């Protein structure tokens, strides 16, 4: 197997998609500096005290409780007044869908700062984030490296958002989908249908405005916003990935987990241990959303049918959608009773005991 190099490794995912687990597996390696959520808006104002208290045990996010605080790797990069050097809040979501040829010298300089700091310690830089699926082409063009994309059943992913509601109000994860969609050019038709506008002010102000406006919106609006961002994100990311990991399989299929560990080692020279990975139990449907109907309407609104059924890497997304959104059971109670009666009838040539 190849030896670890100093080429950066990017782990791209959506929220609630096992990225924290994958990041922790990289972080466990001595040869790695693994940055957690390096595009999170809090990095503009984070302090040493903030870093010390941000731990899995106190997050309420059901993350594995192990190791140092989430943001320890940023400690040496803080400005005296607080915040990570070079980071700007706008990096988080303002240009979530940043085109490969987009110009953003400040953001490029920030990413280079992280990579250089890790290399200065003789380590491989790993940047794992939930906000980069839409800018994977931009990152690949400027920094090369290895790009790993995580994908999860979209219905279970959204239900994970929903399960964190402490009252009937959208969670932070749901609000971010609204904010992203409100500025996504390719999602404009859906955003308009949901009544979303880009809005002004900084990110905190826009999240607050969306919270106030949609705090009593039906759950289906949250799902539609999420699924639109999900589909557009993976249409961008999958063709540019070096490796795609199906996190639904990672915890339930030992052979698949070993295959993914080997693939990562071939690509990066780093051997990850997935032996403790366990698939979480499925989230029950508490929201009662007509998932397939809403998905079909969104796909038709954005005219994405051809893109989703095209051959190539996007087939991974198509299969995820088909599996998560099966055809409804259209049989009537009479049909089911008749089928049960047929199955229970004595068969010719078969003795009943």
- Per cent of the chain over pLDDT 70 is 88
pLDDT of residue 171: 92
Average pLDDT of the residues in 201-219:
92
For the segment 213-235, what is each residue's pLDDT rounded down to a tens digit?
998 899 999 999 999 999 999 99
Closest to 273 in 3D by CA, of 285, 289, 258: 258
For the segment 301-330, what is each residue's pLDDT rounded down to a tens digit?
999 999 999 999 999 999 999 999 977 665
User: Whole-angstrom Cα distance, residue 330 to residue 167?
Assistant: 34
- Per cent of the chain over pLDDT 90 is 78
Asked if pLDDT for residue 156 goes beyond 70, the answer is yes
> What confidence category does residue 4 fall into, taking pLDDT thresholds of 50, 70 and 90?
low
Two tokens at 57?
């045990």
Closest to 230 in 3D by CA, of 219, 218, 242, 222: 222
pLDDT of residue 64: 60
pLDDT of residue 54: 85
pLDDT of residue 198: 84
| CA distance readout (Å), 89 to 99, 101, 309 | 19, 21, 36
> What confidence category does residue 352 fall into, taking pLDDT thresholds of 50, 70 and 90?
very low
pLDDT of residue 51: 94
User: Whole-angstrom Cα distance, residue 132 to residue 130?
Assistant: 6
Q: Which CATH class is domain 9-165+235-281+313-324?
A: alpha beta
> Quick one: DSSP state of residue 93?
T
User: Whole-angstrom Cα distance, residue 56 to residue 91?
Assistant: 24
Out of 63-72, 156-165, 173-182, least confident range: 63-72
For the segment 68-79, what is each residue's pLDDT rounded down to a tens digit?
899 999 999 999
Average pLDDT over all residues of the chain:
90
Out of 34-38, 63-67, 190-194, 234-238, least confident range: 63-67
Q: What angle do CA 137, 139, 142 make, to 5 degrees?
A: 105
In the block, residue with structure tokens 């941000």 = 54
Closest to 158 in 3D by CA, of 207, 93, 219: 219
Q: Which residues on neighbouring strands pair with residue 147, listed in sequence order?
A: 10
User: Whole-angstrom Cα distance, residue 4 to residue 264?
Assistant: 11
Contact 306, 235 (CB under 8 A): no
Asked if pLDDT for residue 58 goes beyond 60, the answer is no
Asked if pLDDT for residue 205 goes beyond 80, the answer is yes
pLDDT of residue 353: 37
Task: Return the higher-pLDDT residue of 198 and 140.
Answer: 140
Average pLDDT of the residues in 240-247:
98
Per-position DSSP letters for 96-129, written without gaps between them? TT--TT---HHHHHHHHHHHHHHHHTT-EEEEEE
Averaging pLDDT over each range in 109-118, 161-170, 201-210, which range is the top one? 109-118
Is 38 strand, coil or helix? coil
Domain boundaries, the chain: 9-165+235-281+313-324
pLDDT of residue 23: 96
pLDDT of residue 349: 43
Average pLDDT of the residues in 160-185:
91
Average pLDDT of the residues in 39-68:
79
pLDDT of residue 350: 43
pLDDT of residue 113: 98
Two tokens at 121?
């310690």
pLDDT of residue 334: 61
């Amino acid at each position: 197997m190849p030896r670890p190099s100093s080429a950066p490794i990017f782990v791209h995912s959506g929220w609630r998609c096992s990225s924290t687990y994958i990041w922790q597996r990289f972080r466990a390696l001595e040869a790695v500096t693994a940055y957690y959520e390096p595009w999170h808006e809090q990095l503009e104002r984070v302090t040493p005290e903030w870093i010390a208290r941000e731990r899995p045990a106190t997050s309420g996010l059901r993350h594995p409780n192990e190791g140092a605080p989430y943001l320890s790797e940023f400690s040496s990069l803080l400005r005296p007044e607080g915040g990570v050097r070079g980071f700007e809040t706008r990096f988080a979501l303002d240009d979530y869908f940043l085109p490969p040829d987009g110009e953003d010298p400040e953001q490029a300089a920030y990413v280079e700062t992280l990579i250089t700091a890790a290399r200065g310690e003789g380590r491989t830089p790993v940047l794992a984030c939930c906000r980069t699926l839409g800018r994977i082409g931009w990152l690949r063009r400027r920094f090369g490296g290895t790009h790993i994309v995580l994908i999860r059943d979209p219905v279970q992913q959204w239900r994970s958002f929903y399960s964190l509601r402490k009252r009937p109000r959208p969670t932070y994860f749901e609000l971010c989908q609204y904010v992203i969609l409100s500025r996504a050019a390719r999602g404009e038709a859906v955003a308009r249908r949901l009544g979303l506008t880009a809005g002004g002010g900084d990110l905190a102000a826009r999240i607050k405005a969306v919270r106030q406006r949609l705090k009593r919106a039906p759950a289906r609006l949250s799902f539609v916003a999420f699924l639109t961002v999900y589909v557009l994100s993976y249409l961008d990311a999958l063709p540019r990935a070096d490796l795609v990991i199906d996190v639904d399989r990672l915890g339930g299929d030992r052979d698949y987990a070993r295959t993914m560990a080997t693939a990562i080692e071939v690509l990066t020279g780093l051997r990850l241990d997935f032996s403790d990975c366990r698939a979480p139990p499925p989230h029950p449907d508490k929201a009662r959303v007509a998932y397939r109907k809403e998905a079909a309407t969104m796909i038709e609104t954005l005219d994405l049918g051809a893109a989703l059924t095209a051959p190539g890497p996007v087939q991974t997304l198509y299969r995820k959608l088909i599996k998560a959104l099966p055809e409804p059971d259209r049989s009537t109670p009479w049909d089911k009773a008749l089928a049960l009666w047929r199955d229970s009838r004595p068969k010719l040539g078969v003795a009943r005991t």
